[in-house]
């Protein structure tokens, strides 16, 4: 029988202010926890001063003692809210050796991209990869672009903005969609972008549009321009059953039209209004501070 259980390990502000705790002590506490062997999902929250220290001791602990983590098939590193540490401040780690240490891993979620390294990605069982951040750097796009993930079903990436680490442009994303090779992908999310209309167009023109069942364009600056593209193109792809447009800049009229797409669940929560300063109109992606 497969183990089913999840637990979040995290230090409060008071704990890391008053005690000598960090990622290394968290690793020790995880391994000493009597409940740990009954878990399949490991969630790492705030490991201390996450804006100064990375979770590398925990990642290294998994790599150095893989047998002690062999029951973990879901790993979330960085489950930290803004009150504990702003998203763009979270220091991440080097996951290059994690792929080989956790062959059983099925889902990996990483929050934060500062100092994030993914290395050469090769994994035969990973089904879901999510990176939640304010800006994803080129090295991470390169790693995922060349990744060998034959079982990957869900890919969710926050593109983000230049101020928080995104170093690319439309051509970066076009090349990414062309060069990635995920034959079992059914959920594609490229979210949290200031160029979300362009992202919508790229995905609608990509090889994945006839393959996926869920299209996630949430958290970005999608306007009626992108909405019109979806209205025109989605009916041509009956494989699309769900579109997530949570946090958008669509007009009420466009929202009603998108709700009318036949056979498609369209999530249109959190409508936004652009801001205007000195005659200029500004659209902001969600995960900015």
- Strand ranges inside 213-286, DSSP E: 214-216, 242-244, 265-267, 275-277, 280-282
Instruction: Show me where the domains of the chain are located.
Output: 6-210
Output the 3-class SS for 125-164.
CCCEEEEECCECCHHHHHHHHCCECCCCCEEEEEEECHHH
- How far is 121 from 128, CA to CA, in rounded Å? 13
For residue 272, the model assigns a pLDDT of 96
- How far are the Cα atoms of 42, 67, 206 from residue 58, in angstroms, in the given order? 11, 14, 37
Task: Using CB atoms within 10 Å of the CB of residue 32, give its burial: 0 to 12 exposed, 13 to 18 middle, 19+ buried.
Answer: exposed
Which 8-state DSSP code applies to residue 183?
A: T
- How far is 220 from 131, CA to CA, in rounded Å? 15
For residue 2, the model assigns a pLDDT of 60
Fold of 6-210: 3.80.10
For 130-164, the pLDDT digits (tens) are 999 999 999 999 999 999 999 999 999 999 998 89
| Under 8 Å between Cβ of 267 and 242 | yes
| Under 8 Å between Cβ of 69 and 90 | no
- How far is 229 from 237, CA to CA, in rounded Å? 13
For residue 3, the model assigns a pLDDT of 63
Beta bridge partners of 41: 6, 74
Task: Using CB atoms within 10 Å of the CB of residue 86, give its burial: 0 to 12 exposed, 13 to 18 middle, 19+ buried.
Answer: middle
**Residue ranges of the chain whose pLDDT lies below 50:** none
User: Which structure tokens are listed for 96?
Assistant: 């290059």
Beta bridge partners of 275: 282
- How far is 203 from 80, CA to CA, in rounded Å? 30
Q: Tell me the whole-structure pTM to 2 decimals.
A: 0.95
Which 8-state DSSP code applies to residue 184?
A: T
């Amino acid at each position: 029988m497969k183990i089913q259980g999840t637990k979040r390990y995290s230090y409060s502000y008071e704990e890391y202010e008053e005690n000598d705790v960090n990622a290394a002590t968290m690793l020790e506490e995880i391994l000493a926890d009597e409940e740990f062997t009954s878990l399949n999902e490991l969630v790492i929250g705030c490991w201390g001063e996450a804006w100064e220290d990375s979770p590398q001791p925990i990642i290294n602990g998994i790599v150095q003692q893989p047998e002690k983590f062999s029951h973990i098939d879901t790993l979330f590193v960085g489950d930290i809210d803004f009150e504990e540490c702003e998203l763009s401040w979270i220091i991440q780690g080097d996951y290059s050796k994690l792929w080989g240490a956790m062959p059983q891993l099925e889902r990996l979620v990483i929050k934060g991209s500062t100092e994030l390294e993914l290395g050469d990605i090769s994994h035969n069982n990973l089904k879901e990869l999510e990176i939640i951040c304010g800006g994803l750097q080129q090295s991470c796009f390169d790693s995922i672009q060349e990744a060998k993930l034959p079982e990957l079903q869900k890919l969710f990436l926050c593109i983000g903005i230049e101020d928080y680490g995104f170093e690319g442009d439309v051509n970066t994303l076009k090349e990414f969609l062309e060069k990635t090779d995920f034959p079992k992908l059914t959920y594609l999310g490229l979210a949290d972008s200031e160029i979300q209309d362009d992202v919508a167009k790229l995905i609608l023109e990509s090889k994945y549009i006839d393959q996926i069942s869920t299209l996630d364009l949430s958290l970005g600056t999608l306007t009626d321009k992108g909405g019109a593209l979806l209205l025109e193109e989605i009916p041509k792809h009956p494989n699309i059953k769900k579109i997530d447009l949570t946090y958008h800049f669509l007009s009420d009229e466009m929202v009603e039209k998108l709700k009318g797409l036949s056979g498609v669940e369209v999530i249109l929560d959190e409508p936004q209004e652009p801001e205007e300063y000195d005659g200029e109109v500004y659209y902001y992606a969600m995960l900015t501070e």
